[in-house]
Amino acid sequence: MKTVTLDVRAPSEAMTDFARAWKTGKASRSARISFATPELLWKVLTEKRWELLKALRGAGPVSIREAARRVGRDVKAVHGDVTALLNAGVLDRSEDGRIVFPFDAVKVEFLLQAA
C-alpha cells in the first residue's frame, strides 16, 4: 500500500531529512508532505478537499469533471480545490492532463502540546 503522510514540522527539519536522504541515497519508503503550521495544513486540507481525496483513492487518472461527479459537486468548485491540492503536491497531473491521487492511504500527523 502506498501511503502519504501529511505532517506539521519546521521547514528546516524537513530540509534536514531531505539532505540526509540525498547524501545517503536512501529515500524514505513512504511519501511525506510537510506543512509549517497546523493552520496551513487545515487551510489546504479542508473538509471538501478531504472528501475529494477519499473519492480519488485508487481511482487512477480522472478528469476534473469526473472528480466533481464522484463527489457530487460543481465542476468550478472542484477545480479550485484541485488547484490547491496540486499546488500543495497532494495531487499530480497525468501526461494527458487528468488528475491523479497516487496514494492508497493518507496519514495526517501532528502534535499539539503545552507551551
Tens digit of each residue's pLDDT (9 = 90 or more) over 57-73: 888 999 999 999 999 99
Domains of the chain plus CATH, in order, are 3-109 (1.10.10.10)
Task: Using a cut of 0.85, tell me whether the model's pTM lies above it.
Answer: no
Backbone angles phi, psi at 87, to 5 degrees: -65, -30
All 3 cell numbers of residue 99?
488528475
Tens digit of each residue's pLDDT (9 = 90 or more) over 43-60: 999 999 999 999 998 889
pLDDT at 106: 86
Backbone angles phi, psi at 100, to 5 degrees: -145, 140
> Which alpha helices (DSSP H) does the chain contain, by range?
11-24, 38-44, 47-56, 64-71, 75-88
